[in-house]
Homo-oligomer: A and B are copies of this chain.
């Protein structure tokens, strides 16, 4: 594919998100208002929201989750932006990564100067089994689903293929979940913002209170091997290898590059963007990586003119722990088959040389699927601007990346950001 440059540059000058979690009684529109209000407060020099000219809303399937399709104009209405064009974009769990790309393209086209990009999902109104079935509609219902696959099963297949090819073990995957909970514990927006050690303590305290036998885990890995505390979902994937079912929203304010200084002196310029598609897993040459992620990453790196080694912080799509390991290889942070070793060695921890998912990732922060891609950008916004609080990376962090996957990789969107 040819690689072109955009007609003009685009920068992010504001970002916000709701808390991720389970919020009975709230609708998608309520969570989006939360995200929008945090976005308004994040614009350093302030602005009049009526200057926003269009909206792109990433949403997987409010259709199935809430019985409400046609969500974009409702979001526009609830933040006071009617009659501006409001477009819903869907790419399964990459919906708001793709919405970000559309916002970028729309400003680059010259049609708009100021665009609001949102991501929304409200998943917890359905019982868990129906959520699993609903998510399965993002797989191929002609080929994959009739074979008995849901997403834990599909990613478990990728995990076993990866283990077979590269000799990784289930313990490797556990360490990714462990690491992401360490990060998420420092993120007030996280759905499960507890370290594994804290979860263990809470479980023990609860057992004492209830007069039940007190667990005698020797350490976190012992806990993660406990079939009761961490049951197998689809082998080798256990509960703590899987991102949760979540509600949430995130919002980003995009402006043309030449306007950025009117909003902030610390904007995130979108210097690279890639997107790719693929068939479903039954028709791929490999299960040990995601081809669409490799294509999207290549496009983004080429547009940005940077190398994988230049990226200082990345939020990658850890819907399952294996997905984070594959992502670090698909993004060329590590060679194919080496990602699991990097995870084992702590290189992807906050203190490592290649910090991944400092927000806690989808695993700990939560995975309201249509909001996750935009939520990733909120973390990069904070890290690049030095606003990530206790989880702030040290040093001059100027280059960040997001990697957002839909399905098992039928869609992937990668973006690269530079603070200027």
Which A residues form the contact surface with B (CB < 8 A)? 1-2, 4-8, 27, 29, 53, 55, 60-61, 63-64, 66-70, 72-74, 76-77, 81-92, 98, 101-102, 105-106, 108-113, 137-142, 275-280, 283, 291-292, 295, 406-407, 410-411
- Residues on B with beta carbons closer than 8 Å to the beta carbon of A1: 53, 84
Interface centre among A53, A63, A67, A139 (most CB of B within 10 A): A63
Q: How far is the CB of A86 from chain B (nearest CB, A)?
A: 4
Cβ contact within 8 Å between A90 and B108: no
Cβ contact within 8 Å between B77 and A411: no
Cβ contact within 8 Å between A72 and B87: no
Name the residue of chain B whose CB is nearest to the CB of A5. B110
* Contact residue among B67, B69, B137, B407 (Cβ-Cβ distance under 8 Å from A67): B137
CA distance A140 to B67 in the complex (A): 10
Q: 7 closest Cβ contacts across the A-B interface?
A: A85-B275, A73-B277, A73-B410, A108-B109, A86-B277, A109-B109, A7-B110
- Residues on B with beta carbons closer than 8 Å to the beta carbon of A113: 2
A-B CB contact pairs (8 Å), 9 listed: A4-B111, A7-B8, A7-B109, A70-B406, A70-B410, A72-B91, A73-B278, A83-B276, A86-B277
Cβ contact within 8 Å between A72 and B411: yes
Cβ contact within 8 Å between B87 and A88: no
* Contact residue among B64, B139, B277 (Cβ-Cβ distance under 8 Å from A83): B277
* Contact residue among B29, B83, B91, B105 (Cβ-Cβ distance under 8 Å from A278): B83
Q: How far is the CB of A50 from chain B (nearest CB, A)?
A: 10
Interface centre among A86, A111, A278 (most CB of B within 10 A): A111
CA distance A113 to B4 in the complex (A): 9
- Residues on B with beta carbons closer than 8 Å to the beta carbon of A283: 77
Cβ contact within 8 Å between A89 and B92: no
* Contact residue among B92, B108, B140, B280 (Cβ-Cβ distance under 8 Å from A110): B108
With A63-B64, A84-B277 given, is the CB distance from A90 to B109 under 8 Å? no
